[in-house]
């Protein structure tokens, strides 16, 4: 590796360490807002127990999300985004079919 590139890389690593230690502020930050679980549930007009059953999660998990103690991650976050934007798709999948 050329010395100039190595020095740039080393400076970058040192800058990253200073940011992690709080000695420097990052040049930019990305903040991703989590879904508003309580609002999504309210749009469905379901109780916590009903909405938790709809999503296949525990009521305790739903409460933690709604009260801000935990944040949905991974597939749960995506499922909530689908539930918010396309409720008809969620109902289509979970509604029992009349025989």
- Residue 89 is encoded by which pair of tokens? 């798709």
Check pLDDT > 70 for residue 13: yes
Q: Quick one: average pLDDT of 15-44?
A: 92
Q: What is the DSSP letter of 81?
A: H
Give the number of C-alpha atoms closer than 13 A to the C-alpha of residue 11, restricted to the C-beta side. 6
Q: Is the dihedral of CA 74, 80, 85, 90 positive or negative?
A: positive
Q: What angle do CA 82, 41, 76 make, to 5 degrees?
A: 45
Structural contact between residues 49 and 56, judged by C-beta atoms closer than 8 angstroms: no
pLDDT band with cut points at 50, 70 and 90 for residue 33: confident
Question: pTM of the predicted model, to two decimals?
Answer: 0.65
If you average pLDDT over every residue of the chain, what do you get? Answer: 92
């Amino acid at each position: 590796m050329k010395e100039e590139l190595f020095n740039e890389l080393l400076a970058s690593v040192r800058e990253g360490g200073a940011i992690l230690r709080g000695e420097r502020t990052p040049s930019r930050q990305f903040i991703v807002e989590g879904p508003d679980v309580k609002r999504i549930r309210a749009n469905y007009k379901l109780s916590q127990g009903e909405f938790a059953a709809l999503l296949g999660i525990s009521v305790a998990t739903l409460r933690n999300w709604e009260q801000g103690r935990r944040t949905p991650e991974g597939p749960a976050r995506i499922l909530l985004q689908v539930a918010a934007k396309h409720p008809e798709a969620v109902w289509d999948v979970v509604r029992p079919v009349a025989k």
